[in-house]
Structure 1
Amino acid sequence: MRLGPPDPTSFDDEQRRVHDLIASGPRGRVRGPLAIWLHRPALAEAAQKLGAYCRYGSSLEPRLSELAILTMATVWQSEFEWWAHKPIALKAGLGADIVEALRSGAPPAFPDRETETVHAVTIALSTQRRLTDALYAQADAVLGPDRLVDLVGLCGYYTLISMTLNAFEVPLPEGERAELTGL
């Protein structure tokens, strides 16, 4: 890891406040990119609010948001993101066959238009940086405007997450094995 989390014994008042705010929320702890962001507690606080909305307040059902998150993890080859969200995705009802296809880079066989559309939008935004008119029309028809806006927001947030994890080479927890890159 290039930059680790700040040492909790040397937190200033703002770092301690933001750390405690995050730890007392639905995440229950501070790790990964949130821990890195504590070097800049205002960023950590703002980002965690956006993340809390994307994870817990979105109009996307958890299986769809977790599909988008795992898709982002594969695009960015973000092992920590994959490690953190794979069990959440499976628990949320995303099929193990879809998870394995994402991990291996095989085309997933989606059971419905919603999952197919979420994946297509996430891939297009991540690789082409835009949606074609046809994909936009499909996403609008299948997801509706509220879920489409939330999906785009989630993709933006997990781009920030992925960039942070990759830029600072945040490692997996001790004893965990990389699944995307095999490292």
Structure 2
Amino acid sequence: MKSPSLWMSSIGLSSLAVAAASGWFAATMFAGPATSKEPRFPQLTMDQLDARQKPLGEQVMKVSSVGLAGPYNPMMRSPVLGQKLFDLFAYLRWDTSVPVKLNEFAIIIIGRQWRSQVEWFAHAPLAQKAGLSPQIIADLKANKRPANMAEDEATVYDFVTELTTTHKVSDATYARAKKIFNDQQIVDLTAVAGNYVMVAMLLAMAEESTPPGKEAPFKPGEP
């Protein structure tokens, strides 16, 4: 079992956290949260949780570096779903068959596509810690196909990008993946990408952003 850190420190006992490649949606669709209105989901604290929410909240607090913030805040509003997601992401983060470096790379590919401040803030450091080159991370953040990727990294980038932007995987891309990954790994890679699409959607809907005092990775007007 891989040990939790940062966001999946923030995402889960087993975690949470979950799309789409460069520039496939206009940046304006992912504008930051409005500042002139009440938050869509006021931040919950442990003492505000009811009997249905508290068991999940206690699990989250054991592993989360951001407490009940990020995706956990809206998840608490649907505690049965939240618990099932928490358990699913335990596998997708800590027990997946995909090597951690490539798993985190897939996550930040999704985070970049969605310009998800929280996903990038949480997972770019985890990807680097797992061994992904800082230059690859920088290229991805700049909305470019990273240069100098190893074969497995390039395969993950092309597989995830093609699936999320064209809604299919070509025979050529699938054949490349089969040279590197077994069937379980291909299924797990697909699932982690789709999972972080869902997380990005949840964060966008709830207008969740980076923790207070932390700089947002993506600035207004950037692609």
1:160 Cα offset (Å): 0.9
3-state DSSP of counterpart to 1:14: coil
Work out whether residues 41 and 73 of structure 2, in 8 Å CA contact, stay in contact via their aligned partners in 1.
Answer: no
1:133 Cα offset (Å): 1.5
Q: Give the Cα–Cα distance (whole angstroms) in 2 for the partners of residues 129 and 27 of structure 1.
A: 33
Choose 139-148 or 44-53, whichever is displaced more: 139-148
- CA-to-aligned-CA distance 1:81-138 (integer Å, 9 cap, x gap): 1001111111111100000001001220243211111111111121111111211121
1:27 Cα offset (Å): 4.2
Q: Structure 2 matches for 1:140-159, cutoff 5 A?
A: 140-159=178-197
Q: Does 1:22 align with 2:22?
A: no
- Which residue is equivalent to 1:170? 208
3-state DSSP of counterpart to 2:52: helix
- Which residue is equivalent to 1:106? 144
1:4 Cα offset (Å): 3.2
Choose 123-132 or 61-70, whichever is displaced more: 123-132
- Which residue is equivalent to 2:160? 122
Q: Runs of 5+ in structure 1 lacking a partner? A: none
Letter matched to residue 109 of structure 1: A
TM-score computed with the length of structure 2 as normaliser: 0.76
1:181 Cα offset (Å): 3.4
1:19 Cα offset (Å): 0.9
Q: Runs of 5+ in structure 2 lacking a partner? A: 1-38
Q: Give the Cα–Cα distance (whole angstroms) in 1 for the partners of residues 120 and 112 of structure 2.
A: 7
3-state DSSP of counterpart to 1:179: coil
Counting aligned pairs with the same residue, the percent is 29
1:182 Cα offset (Å): 4.4
Letter matched to residue 157 of structure 2: H
- Which residue is equivalent to 1:66? 104
Q: Give the Cα–Cα distance (whole angstroms) in 2 for the partners of residues 30 and 65 of structure 1.
A: 24
TM-score computed with the length of structure 1 as normaliser: 0.92
Work out whether residues 73 and 162 of structure 1, in 8 Å CA contact, stay in contact via their aligned partners in 2.
Answer: yes
Work out whether residues 6 and 39 of structure 1, in 8 Å CA contact, stay in contact via their aligned partners in 2.
Answer: no
Work out whether residues 74 and 180 of structure 1, in 8 Å CA contact, stay in contact via their aligned partners in 2.
Answer: no
- Which residue is equivalent to 2:25? none
- Of 77, 80, 83, 2:115 maps to 77
- Which residue is equivalent to 1:45? 83
1:144 Cα offset (Å): 2.0
Q: Structure 2 matches for 1:134-145, cutoff 5 A?
A: 134-145=172-183
- CA-to-aligned-CA distance 1:143-173 (integer Å, 9 cap, x gap): 2212111101101110110000111110211
1:23 Cα offset (Å): 2.4
* RMSD across aligned positions (CA): 1.7
Letter matched to residue 216 of structure 2: A
